Amino acid sequence: MLGQTVVVMGASGGIGEAVCLSFAKMGANVVACGRRNPILETLLEKLNSQKIETSSPPTSLDSNVSTLAPKLKSKYAAEIPCAILHKQHHNIHICDVSNYNSITTLLSYLQKHSSSVSHLINAFGITSDSILLKQPLADIQRVLDTNLLGTINSCKAFSRIFLKQRYGNIVNISSVVGQHGNRGQAVYAASKAGVIGFSKALAKEMGPANVRVNVICPGFIQTDMTKNIFNPETQQSSLEYNDILNSIILKRFGEPQDVADGVLFLSKSKYITGSVLNIDGGLFI
């Protein structure tokens, strides 16, 4: 991951932030994209203060390292940890994935300021819970435009880069609801199920160019989207809370870092594509 560029869509959400920080720990250059600028600004501060967690020294110095740290290039350079020699560059960008032009604007910036993009992580998602009969058409369109069309827009835009350089990694965040459904979330389930089918088809299209596409389906993760479940003041009932908890084999709710760990696993696994990784604590077995 050291020196690679990763673009994280949905970085202003809890899972997106955890993904950004996890890649930064591995020495990657993170491009954090989202809709909420104040949150992105705070995230950028965290990224810039993040330390690289590596203890592996380089075996030799290449030209890139020598330009970053010319004074360190010497016969003793092999004794200097990689983290010292590598200077990370993190950026934040306001980006609306439901608007294809917004993504192409980001793409134009990256093509001017980055030599390549190795990873695209689509970690966004919204919901508007309601039984279908009562759900406004505007809410239905908004959920589909963000969750499904947003994923398609993002992958379509970055596929140009990946196919041209003939390598790349895409991880799309879906949901266990997209696999099993949930009362009051018919539209959300449809959008996230669409992400799974889309990703499997895209994996077949882009695999011959050494571009991998995988999906992660989180279960109940403690984020803003699920705050009504975890906040005692807004819980519909303690009975419902306990019912959900008891249905999880590991008897705990997930953290954003649990999902981020799965993203890193798939991003480092060179022989996995078209797969769906459930991170749900055994909610559905």
Spell out the per-residue pLDDT of the chain, length 285, in tens. 899 999 999 999 999 999 999 999 999 999 999 999 999 999 999 999 988 985 544 444 344 444 444 444 444 444 444 444 457 899 999 999 999 999 999 999 998 887 799 999 999 999 999 999 999 999 999 999 999 999 999 999 999 999 999 999 999 999 999 999 999 999 999 999 999 999 999 999 999 999 999 999 999 998 877 766 666 565 555 567 788 889 999 999 999 999 999 999 999 999 999 999 999 999 988
Query: pTM score, two decimals?
Result: 0.86
CATH code (residue 96)? 3.40.50.720
Rg (CA), the chain: 20
Domain limits for position 182: 5-52+88-213
In a domain, 58, yes or no: no
Region of 28 on the Ramachandran plot (φ > 0 left; ψ -120 to 50 alpha; else beta)? beta
Q: Where are the beta strands (DSSP E) in the chain?
A: 5-9, 29-34, 91-94, 119-122, 168-173, 211-218, 276-279
Q: Per-residue DSSP letters for 15-59?
A: HHHHHHHHHHHTTPEEEEEES-HHHHHHHHHHHHHPPP------S
Whether 113 is in a domain gets the answer: yes
- Residue 164 domain-assigned? yes
253: tokens are 């709710």
Which pLDDT belongs to residue 72? 42
d(CA 75, CA 249): 54
Decide if 241 is catalytic.
no
pLDDT (0 to 100) of residue 40: 97
- Overall size of the chain counted in residues: 285
Which residues lie across from 32 on neighbouring strands?
Answer: 8, 92
In this structure, is residue 21 part of a structural domain?
A: yes
Question: Which pLDDT does position 267 carry in this prediction?
Answer: 98
Give the three-state DSSP class for 17.
Answer: helix
pLDDT at 60: 41
Q: Which token pair is 247? A: 């249905």
Active-site residue (options: 100, 188, 241, 271): 188
The answer to the question of residue 275 being in a domain is: no
Is the Cβ–Cβ distance between 66 and 73 less than 8 Å? yes
Angle at 248 between CA 245 and CA 250, to 5 degrees: 105
Token couple for 110: 């990256």
Give dist(CA 276, CA 270) in Å, integer.
Answer: 15
In a domain, 263, yes or no: no
What is the distance between the alpha carbons of residues 255 and 17, in angstroms, rounded to a whole number? 12
Asked, for residue 238, whether it belongs to a domain, the answer is: no
Give me the number of domains the chain comprises.
1
| 77 is a domain residue | no
- Using CA atoms, how far residue 253 sits from 75, 262, 277, 282, in Å, is 51, 16, 17, 11
